Structure 1
Amino acid sequence: MALIAQPFRHPDSGIYYLRRRVPDDLRHIIGKTEIRRSLNTRHHQQAKAAFAIAYVESEQLFNDARQGHYIEHHKLSAPAKPLPTHSLPSRIEGSVKLSEALARYVQSISMSGRSEYVSRRHAVDYSRAVNRFITDMGDQPIAAIQPSDIHTFAANLIQPSDDKVKPLATSSTRLLLARLSSVMAFSVDSGLIEINPVTASRIHKRLGSGKAKRRLDDNRGYSWSELVTLFSHSEFQQLRTAKGRL
């Protein structure tokens, strides 16, 4: 019995997708072995509705390809149109700005099933990180943000060009960049950009590990005099002569 097609939920982002295997006889026309299309939601019921529409469109694509009507722009490379949601900002002409991507990310948090307090705290923390980038680097279209911008931003966090701005510790900078990266990753999953500039910048490798490395000459063991004192204790001596001790 054939399985009923279902939306695919990304294990990391929670975003639902349409994933369909391209029939063997159409692969040389479409140029893919699988069609993958973001449904732009983490909500299962919304995903099911969007999936039904996307599935019909994929069937139309296959039919067009078989009839010789397939054209390059007909590939399902663009993200699926999200379900009408008045609380989401409309996509402006051209690339979506970072502030709008943040608004979409915050909206997605409310559909995650978390408690109201956790969702609100999450939204505040991640909004603070993104808004810091906007303050320092401007509200750029997210497609225009380059890895070099991430390095410039990180450097300005640790050593601000403005003397009135308090510098951040490396650990705080790392956390802020991780939150910015989460919003960028959401934008990738939503089909707004192709790569995450924070990940591409490899900035976390340059900042180093979050755990302090132990120095080779850092001997945190007991000194000889401390060991003598410890093992000379009367309770330890009683254990040495206890019956049954090998």
Structure 2
Amino acid sequence: MSETISPTFTFVKSGIYYFSRRIPTELIHHYTSPRIAFSLRTRSTRVAEARARRAADQLDEYWFHLRSQSKELPGKHMLRLQRDPRAATASVPEVDAVSSSITLSEGMALYLKHKGAGRPVTFHRAAERTCGYVIDACGDKPLDAYSRADANAFRDSLIERGLAGSSMTRVFGTVRSIINFAASEQGIAMNNPFAGVYYDRDAGVSDRLPVPTTALRKLQQECHLLDDDLRWLVALYLASFERRPKLAPLPMAVKNEKL
């Protein structure tokens, strides 16, 4: 059997997967075309299969309600007559619009695949942790389904977690980067709802006080008393630190050595 068979309800055109499904005959009068077709905006068979299945499930649900409207309700003759002549019949429950956008988790995978190559593990963990925060607060939605209300709910959840303003700035920056990159890669035109969200950037942020000069000099004296190579290296570093406070950190070997 060929390994290039497209997933159900899809076809490939110029390397891009498309969703295509024939509208049932009894429901054609609800549409302007006998077939629904749109781009799934992906070249990946796995992603196309997931999106096509999601779109098909949404259509099945909506078509079920359309069919229910046209059928005779069982036991209708036993219903009480409505006293209010203006009362309307039961409306069809709302069904989420079919979206061809990738979800946030899919966007994160795409982001890490291209942007995470050669980056440290902390880069990957930050992206995964940030998207986990969004999914916990708002759900794993298609990128173009997120709204400003979702972004505000995400902000409130970060505040409840006790994140400082500086940490929230980093988290929002990561979310914006992932969404912007994934949307650009997939050709999705959208306004990023996580941009321009207000929060107190100074909340929980405190200035770090410098090490007192007396403490530095006491440490230098201890280094002179012990009088070995590592202690002299630390003493020289501390002497330079007094002149230029913003120096590179001590080498790891010196840090691990007990003074």
TM interval, shorter chain, is 0.3 to 0.5
The higher relative CO (CA closer than 8 Å, separation ≥ 6) is in 1
Greater C-alpha radius of gyration: 2
